[in-house]
Homo-oligomer: A and B are copies of this chain.
Amino acid sequence: MIDISEILENFRAFIKSKGLKYTPEREEILIEILKYKDHFDVDELHMELKKKGSKISKASIYRTLPLLIEAGYIQEVYKQEGRAYYEVVINKLPHLHFICIKCKKVEEIIDPKLIELIQEHAKKKEFHLLSYHLEIFGTCLECRKGGMV
């Protein structure tokens, strides 16, 4: 479970440490994002905020996401059809994604051995690792079997 008030305080400190201003918009976006258990995109987030009566613009969302990434709360996980998808990574192990190109279902696979291999390579190459994109595209069993597209 995630302790929201602790994260908000953390975020406030992060924002101030960068000489930026802690605005209601930034906080509201963070609070909303923390509710996501799965992947989300900007449109989805914006609609969700609107549904709750918020007037936050997409521009502000686009401006806030990089801050949340830098603060380490979220990551961009993959792009599909020209659209970027994000996920909360607090208390979440690195993992790879099996993405069905038919039904768009995304399955997460956690494999510490795999992540370890990657980190070994990074270490060997003296590469400072910032983020992963481990996506496997294909078709899931259900979609191969039949109908349901």
**Which residues from chain A sit less than 8 Å from chain B, CB to CB?**
78-79, 82, 96, 98, 100-101, 107, 109, 111, 113-114, 117-118, 121-122, 125-141, 144
Contact = CB atoms under 8 A, between A and B. Distances in A.
B111 A117 contact: yes
A57 B38 CA distance: 40
B113 A141 contact: no
Contacts of A114: 114, 117-118
B138 A131 contact: yes
Contact of A135 (B101, B126, B132, B138): B132
Nearest to A107: B125
17 contacts: A79-B79, A96-B118, A98-B127, A100-B127, A111-B117, A111-B121, A114-B118, A122-B136, A128-B139, A128-B140, A130-B137, A130-B139, A132-B135, A133-B133, A133-B135, A133-B137, A134-B134
B138 A126 contact: no
Nearest to A142: B126
Contacts of A131: 136-138
Given A82-B82, A109-B125, A127-B136, 4 more contacts: A109-B121, A128-B140, A130-B137, A130-B139
A138 B127 contact: yes
B122 A129 contact: no
Contacts of A121: 96, 98, 109, 111
Contact of A113 (B117, B125, B132): B117
